[in-house]
Amino acid sequence: MTSLAPLVEVRDVHKRFPVGGGLFGRARAWVHAVDGVSLTIHQGETLGLVGESGCGKSTLGRLILRLLEPTAGEVLFDGRSLLALSARELRAMRREMQIVFQDPYGSLNPRMRVASIVGEGLAIHRLGTRRERRARVDELLALVGLPPDAADRYPHEFSGGQRQRIGIARALAVRPRFIVADEAVSALDVSIQAQILNLLHDLQRQLGLTLLFIAHDLRVVEHMSDRVAIMYLGRIVECGPREEIYRNPRHPYTRTLLSAVPVPDPRRRKQRMVLGGDLPSPVRPPPGCAFHPRCGHALDVCRRDIPPLETGRGGHAVACHVFPAERVSAADG
């Protein structure tokens, strides 16, 4: 998998949002929503992105799609910098990347029929004749498991799971290569969530899609991902192959997160690691390692220097002074 070229490459991307200023006043402070993130997503793989609310997951997803402009840094898609593209080139590139949102209720226009919603991208990019577009819509509805008569109905006539299928059909319409699924199953009931996870999985295989799967549910991310990145206060603190992250987590934050997940097995009731305090404000992130105020292992250096994300054995990267990535040994080449 890693032998394939990266489809998406994020290089030291930053995004700051102004907060506190009045309508015309100067911003009083800045939120560092994304604070120097670098990562790659290879062709055909699913990268899971996990973190707690407000850590910058969705912002990062939107920066990658260039739905937001980064404050600094760059994003490469298929080897080309999105920032360097002309408006026309960007529009063409947009076809290749789509997003599926969390909220199956809010993200579909209630006054549009399903056929128009799903076919909107085709119309915008002027792909095919009207008849061809309609045929493509019917094909997509079948692909995501909706009945053919769904095309002429309105979103409110569908359940949450069905609306999420509509959202997926819409994203697939223009035959993208890359999809950002932002909490795409979080609002769904367990039985319906399983349907959508299977659907995404099958579609990925069938169509060779590359996926950025953003979620806060660690069980769902483990199920879906090839590699996983853990985000805390705007930075990636750990990243690596799924088994590495789940079986051999190194960063104290990752370990706390994993220990907090309730295990659906009453014989394995465990003693959890408990974090003190809330997520600090991203307006005034703690100096050094942003996790140090909640970390049980912090040393002086943690309060002073930001630990860099360093990649070690097996492509397992960690940003921690106390538990750095395991060294690549000679045997690993």
In the complex, the residues that contact another protein under the rule CB under 8 A are: 52-53, 159-162, 189-195, 197-198, 201, 216-220, 222-223, 242, 246, 256-272, 274-275, 277-279
- Taking the complex as a whole, the smallest distance from the CB of residue 285 to another protein amounts, in Å, to 16
- Taking the complex as a whole, the smallest distance from the CB of residue 12 to another protein amounts, in Å, to 27
Closer of 26 and 270 to another protein (Cβ): 270
Tokens standing for residue 321: 């002074």
Closer of 193 and 210 to another protein (Cβ): 193
**163 vs 208, 244, 300, CA distance in Å?**
23, 34, 50
- Taking the complex as a whole, the smallest distance from the CB of residue 153 to another protein amounts, in Å, to 15
**Beta-bridge partner residues of 18:** 30
**157 vs 105, 117, 150, 161, 196, CA distance in Å?**
11, 14, 9, 12, 18
Closer of 25 and 276 to another protein (Cβ): 276
Closer of 11 and 216 to another protein (Cβ): 216
- Please give the Cα distance from 78 to 178 (Å, whole number): 10
- Taking the complex as a whole, the smallest distance from the CB of residue 198 to another protein amounts, in Å, to 5
> DSSP per residue over 261-325, as a string?
SPPS-GGG--PPP---SPPPPTTSPPSSSTTGGG-TT--HHHHHSPPP-EE-GGG-EE--SSSPP
Closer of 101 and 232 to another protein (Cβ): 232
- Please give the Cα distance from 70 to 85 (Å, whole number): 14
Closer of 13 and 199 to another protein (Cβ): 199
- Taking the complex as a whole, the smallest distance from the CB of residue 220 to another protein amounts, in Å, to 6
- Please give the Cα distance from 100 to 179 (Å, whole number): 7
- Please give the Cα distance from 79 to 172 (Å, whole number): 22
- Taking the complex as a whole, the smallest distance from the CB of residue 135 to another protein amounts, in Å, to 27
